[in-house]
Structure 1
Amino acid sequence: MRATLLVLPALIPVVIVVIGGVGTTVVQSLGLMPLVGSPALSVAAFEGSDDLLGSALLSLGIAVVSTAIAAVVGFFTAVLIISGNWGGRIVGALGAAAVTVPHLVGAASVGLLLSDSGVLARLLGVAPEAWPALVAGPTWFAVIAEYAWKESAFVALIIVGTLATRITSYDETAAVLGAHRSARLRLVLFPLAAPSLLVASTIAFAYTLGSYEVAWLLGKTYPEPLSVMALRLFNSASLTARPEAAAVAVITLLLTGAIIAVAMLGIRRMRAWQ
């Protein structure tokens, strides 16, 4: 009870903001709080947005691919950092610096690097017409690359924080018992890091699914991810588009909640978590 009372001053404002924001969005999507006209319960906003299914699949695809790359790169980066050699310390410093870079700045940097007249094309001496469409191209390469780069550093630091105080004794014990490096990686490092890896990947997935600035700067204008569609509809000159924007936001929230629920079930089943 005492611990709960100590947490309440920080918890109550957060709950009010989150529940208030989500509740307002849901009410707007159902037509109960229109900017113009009289309130009327309706699900027309969920049917009025064009290409809603395509945008949802695109958002999921970008989030899944970038999070998978970030998880793999982040795990092996964490293994390198906790090795304790000079290379690991350099990578750890670079990872900590990458986490502090805002996604907007990262998107601008990736665009300058990968565009047809960017730094990489100039260094390689490739003409703009011969350079592949990495920025605003059909594969969404630049968007996925930016998310994977940023979130891999986040995943690595989360795993390092978890393993830093636990891995030494287990790794030394496995080495004394004759386990080779690959066996220790598979049987010691990965099981201990799995809960943290799943938690960090879930956070990265949720952020990628709801973030709009990277896809807006580096992606195509059509089709557009859910976050970009919601922002476009919200800023539309037509006030009747506001319920559609709220509906897109609600769908994004439901997808994120479903992924988080699945991840939590997976974490509870992990032996290292138990």
Structure 2
Amino acid sequence: MLPAVVLSLVVLGGGVGATALQAFGLLPVVGRPTPGVEAFTARPGELFAAIGVSLGVAAVATTLAVVIGTTAAVVIVSRTRSSRVVAALGTLTVTIPHLIAAATVGLLLSDAGVLPRLLGMAPEAWAPWVGGPLWGAAIVELAWKESAFIALIVTGTLATRIQTYDETAALLGAGRMQRFRHVLLPLTAPTILIGAAISFVYALGSYEVLWLLGRTSPEPLPVLAVRLFQGVSLDSRPEAAAVALVTCVLALGAVALTFGALRRTAAWR
């Protein structure tokens, strides 16, 4: 894996390094370098609001995705009549791009969308899922898509490593909930944590989903970064780089916390 790892480090390291240099004033678009942290302090209100929105949406969506995906994985490996249906739905969901999924959720949950029309509800009586204060449509889309991803990787773990332990526990008299709590959940914990970290980082940096389905104010981190980068004034470029760098730091922090939690799991040890 070393060639691929080196190439990834060069590409990602170069991009993040250039972003950091521009955020700290060392790589200006025009003029001479002026080191400082003015880009981070130029919009403190917008930056902290964006951090709160991004972390909140990512945390709620990831929690729902973990619960739904893990449940779906257990159903898939149970070999019941519904397992094939759940597996087919999960496989189909994984192949749908997030942009198309976001547009679909928007058409379904908007106040003039398909679902309120099927239910016969007036637009003013429908909850503001799209562009609402609770970011409902964005959370639904991220949870839906990421739950299929988590179900896929947890199913692989359940099918390859845990089936023998589950059958042994069943022969010893353990019930379904006992097997899930003492066998399935501890042994799949590393996979669930890794899947949750990937889903959280993606939701944290997702632009198209939050831009299509979210509010215009406050903006999440990726939407704020893109808006500042596309501004007519070149003075906003360092501010956009600062927002992007904050997003990278939060993502790396989430990954570090995940590895710290992985070291405490019994399966990892």
TM-score scaled by length of structure 1: 0.96
Q: CA deviation at 1:13?
A: 1.9
Matched, 1:17 2:11: yes
Consecutive unaligned residues of structure 1, counting only runs of 5 or more, are 1-6
Asked if the contact 1:36–1:240 (Cα under 8 Å) also holds between the matched residues in 2, the reply is: no
Q: CA deviation at 1:210?
A: 0.6
Q: CA deviation at 1:129?
A: 1.5
Matched, 1:98 2:128: no
Q: CA deviation at 1:149?
A: 0.3
Matched, 1:180 2:175: yes
Query: What amino acid sits opposite 1:121 in the alignment?
Result: P
Query: What amino acid sits opposite 2:26 in the alignment?
Result: L
Q: CA deviation at 1:167?
A: 2.1
Q: Which residue of 1 aligns with 2:47?
A: 52
Q: Output one character per residue of 1:39-85: Cα deviation in whole Å (capped at 9) or x when no partner.
A: 11010000012421111011000000000000011111100001112
Query: What amino acid sits opposite 2:48 in the alignment?
Result: L
Matched, 1:37 2:31: yes
1: distance between equivalents of 2:179 and 2:251?
34
Superposed CA RMSD in Å reads 0.9
Matched, 1:124 2:119: yes
Q: CA deviation at 1:9?
A: 2.9
Q: Output one character per residue of 1:91-143: Cα deviation in whole Å (capped at 9) or x when no partner.
A: 11110110111111010000000001101001000011211111001110001
Q: CA deviation at 1:165?
A: 1.3
Q: Which residue of 2 aligns with 1:247?
A: 242
Query: What amino acid sits opposite 1:29 in the alignment?
Result: A
Q: CA deviation at 1:272?
A: 0.9
Consecutive unaligned residues of structure 2, counting only runs of 5 or more, are none
Query: What amino acid sits opposite 2:11 in the alignment?
Result: V
Q: How many residues align?
A: 268
Q: Which residue of 2 aligns with 1:8?
A: 2
What secondary structure does 2:219 align onto? coil
Taking the TM superposition and a 5 Å limit, the aligned residue runs for 1:226-241 are 226-241=221-236
Matched, 1:201 2:191: no
Query: What amino acid sits opposite 1:203 in the alignment?
Result: I
Q: Which residue of 1 aligns with 2:20?
A: 26
Percent of aligned positions that are identical: 55
